[in-house]
Amino acid sequence: MSLIDDLKTLDFKQPGNWPWPVKIIAFVVIFLAIQIAAGVLLWKDQSDQIESGRQEVAKQKETFVEKKKLAVNLDAYKQQRAEIEQSFGALLKQLPNKSEMDALLIDINQAGLGRGLNFEYFKPATAENFTEFYAELPVNIKVTGNYHDLGAFASDVAKMPRIVLLTDVKLDPPKDGLLSMEAVAKTYRYLDEEEVAKQRKTAKDKAAAKQGAKK
């Protein structure tokens, strides 16, 4: 009987009765199937590992490039920081300290009187507005005078060695040849070390409270 005839008469429920040539072929087929399946599974696992490795290499390369850029520009960053600190220091010098604020308010008042203006009111705010490094004190003013003198007063305030900004300026219609100007003169002073520490602590406490509220 030929091999083909043997295959036609196979009883798949009783493989033990198969002829030896058929058993050998079946064994080879099963063996190859197992090897192929194992190879596919192993290849997939290795492929995943290779892809993961590629992603990690790309990430490390990106980190290296960023660090290299920082290293290359480190001197420029240091120079820029020094310039910023110098500019900041120069600005701070234009701000009075706490003990000089009264003198600055007198200077603003004197600038108006020196131009022949009449102050209807000159009211510093009862409380300062604090930031981390400086405090802002708004002063509500109302003065009357001719157009030229009001303009000269605004120019004098802008030229003061201390920083003073005139904001919320409002001019009323002329009356008897005089204009009335309302404005908020914002003056600034730098904080001493104790005040800076207090502001930083307040900011830190607020951030902690905000973070706690989120949880």
Q: Taking the domains of the chain in order of start, what are their residue ranges?
A: 97-196
Mean pLDDT of the chain: 77
d(C-alpha 104, C-alpha 162), whole Å: 8
Distances (CA, A) of 209 to 133, 205, 206, 214: 22, 6, 5, 9
212 or 122, which is more confident: 122
Q: Is the pLDDT of residue 1 over 50?
A: no
Q: Is the pLDDT of residue 183 over 60?
A: yes
What per-residue confidence (pLDDT) applies to 141?
93
Of the CA atoms within 13 Å of residue 85, those in its CB half-sphere come to 6
What does the pLDDT look like over 24-76, one tens digit per residue?
Answer: 776 677 767 776 766 666 666 666 677 777 788 778 888 877 877 777 777 77
- Pick from 212, 96, 211: nearest CA to 164: 96
What does the pLDDT look like over 106-151, one tens digit per residue?
Answer: 899 999 999 999 999 999 888 888 877 788 889 999 999 998 999 9
For the entire predicted model, the pTM comes to: 0.51
16 burial level (CB within 10 Å; 0-12, 13-18, 19+): exposed
Q: CATH number of the domain at 97-196, please?
A: 3.30.70.60
